[in-house]
């Protein structure tokens, strides 16, 4: 909460999410895209950024409210009924994890009331970002850089 931000990196990330309705994640993103500056790279970025913050309500959700597994569960049934090989089933079962839908508002609420050990584990999984430098250490920024590099490679082909 008392850390600074690399504005160039932040602006790039904000540009990527500009078209996403952040209210579906229970955040309001207030960016003044009319107050732009030219970075010299041919793109415009806002100089006025308000980072979404969550204020805990004090009501701790049940742990099972933090994730919705309905889509994954539906696919698991289909996979288990299929006639694909055991290796293919194993792969597909692992792939269903990407269908989990996390409720980040409830995750933030749970985090606010969790034990220090649980908080640390949640931070390691980047379920919450409390310290941007820690997020970098845990691989979030590296993942973002890797994805950007992969996207650039696709553009060249």
Least confident range of 17-26, 34-43, 50-59, 143-152: 34-43
Q: Give me the DSSP letters along 63-92.
A: GGGGEE-HHHHHHHHHHHHS-S-HHHHHHH
pLDDT in the model for residue 15 = 76
| Per-residue confidence (pLDDT) for residue 54, from 0 to 100 | 66
Nearest alpha carbon to residue 93 among 74, 107, 103, 79: 79
pLDDT tens track for 75-112: 999 999 999 999 999 999 999 999 999 998 899 899 98
CB atoms within 10 A of CB 90: 12
- pLDDT at site 123: 86
Q: How many CB atoms lie within 10 A of CB 64?
A: 8
Instruction: Parse the chain into domains and list their residue ranges.
Output: 1-53
Query: 118 CB contacts (<8 Å, ≥6 apart)?
Result: 111
DSSP state of 98: G
Cβ neighbours for 124, distance < 8 A, ≥ 6 positions apart: 138
Q: Which residues of 11-47 are buried (b: 16+ CB within 10 A; e: fewer)?
A: beebeeeeeeeeeeeebebebeeeeeeeeeeeeebbe
Taking the C-alpha atoms of residue 140 and residue 10, their distance in angstroms, rounded to an integer, is: 13
What is the pLDDT, as a whole number, of residue 37?
47
pTM over 0.85: no
Segment 29-53, tens digit of pLDDT = 555 555 544 444 555 555 454 555 6
What is the pLDDT, as a whole number, of residue 125?
Answer: 86
Average pLDDT over residues 64-77: 95
Q: Yes or no: say if 127 and 102 are a contact pair by the CB < 8 Å rule.
A: yes
């Amino acid at each position: 909460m008392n850390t600074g931000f690399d504005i160039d990196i932040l602006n790039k990330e904000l540009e990527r999410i500009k078209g996403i309705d952040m209210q579906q994640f229970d955040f309001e993103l207030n960016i003044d895209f009319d107050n732009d500056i030219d970075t010299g790279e041919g793109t415009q970025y806002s100089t006025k950024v308000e980072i979404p913050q969550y204020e805990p309500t004090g009501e701790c959700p049940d742990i099972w409210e933090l994730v919705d597994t309905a889509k994954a569960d539906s696919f698991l049934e289909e996979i288990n009924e299929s006639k694909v090989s055991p290796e293919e089933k194993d792969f597909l079962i692992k792939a269903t994890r990407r269908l989990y839908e996390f409720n980040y508002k409830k995750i933030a609420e749970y985090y606010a009331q969790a034990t220090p050990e649980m908080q640390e584990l949640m931070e390691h999984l980047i379920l919450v970002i409390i310290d941007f430098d820690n997020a970098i250490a845990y691989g979030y920024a590296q993942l973002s850089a890797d994805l950007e590099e992969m996207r650039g490679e696709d553009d060249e082909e």
